[in-house]
Amino acid sequence: MSDCTFCKIVAGRLPSHRVLEDEHALAFLDIRPASPGHTLVVPRVHARDVWEISEFSHGKVADMVHRVAALLKTAVAPDGVNVKHNAGEAAGQDVLHYHVHVVPRWHGDGLRLTWNSSPASARELEKVLERVAAVR
Ligand code: 5GP
Ligand code: ZN
């Protein structure tokens, strides 16, 4: 995709701070990091989101996420890490090339990646499972 920012980064037509790369995926530092070491992992082949990316390509990105998390654990010694993908505007996706955020976390860092939730009844959970089972 000639107009896609992350395709341009993959092709080297835009600069990036590369953390790791292989034949299928690339990891580079987020230009607006939520925390020191915040890294994005993307497939080399353009796909918009988790619904569009192939299972193969998704697997290759997941492998690199695993390697990046290990690298960052040693490099910046975080207390934890968030691994996150946003798909669609409603979920906060801004760049429409599949990417996984790897965000190192520290106690008291003040980042808010949480949501409000409440317990569901067994019946509510079963109703969701019925809908999934109908299309599985
Ligand atoms: P999203 O909201 O789509 O899940 O996240 C997009 C991320 O891409 C943001 O965290 C943003 O800072 C990052 N980003 C956007 N443009 C660029 C860029 O040109 N270079 C880099 N390294 N990161 C970018
Ligand atoms: Zn792209």
Domain boundaries, the chain: 5-109
pLDDT value at 1 more than 80: no
5 pocket-lining for ligand 1 (C-beta < 6 Å): yes
CATH code for 5-109? 3.30.428.10
pTM equals: 0.97
Q: Please give the single-letter amino acid code of residue 20.
A: L
Range list of β-strands (E), the chain: 18-21, 25-29, 39-43, 80-84, 100-105
Please work out, in degrees rounded to the nearest 5, the angle formed at the alpha carbon of residue 98 by the alpha carbons of 82 and 59: 75
- 91 CB less than 6 Å from ligand 1? no
- Residue 113 has a pLDDT of 87
Say how many Å lie between the CA of residue 32 and the centre of ligand 1: 7
Provide the 10 A C-beta neighbour count for residue 33.
14
- Phi then psi for 80, rounded to 5 degrees? -165, 180
What radius of gyration, in Å, describes the C-alpha atoms of the chain?
17
Residue whose pair of structure tokens reads 């207390």 in the numeric block: 79
pLDDT in tens, 2-47: 899 999 999 999 999 999 999 999 999 999 999 999 999 999 999 9
In percent, the amount of the chain with pLDDT more than 90 equals 96
CA 15 / ligand 1 centre spacing (Å): 13
90 lines ligand 1 (CB under 6 A): no
pLDDT at res. 2:
81
Ligand 1, atom 12: closest residue by C-alpha: 32
Digit-coded pLDDT (tens) for 57-95: 999 999 999 999 999 999 999 999 999 999 999 999 999
Tokens of 6: 């992350």
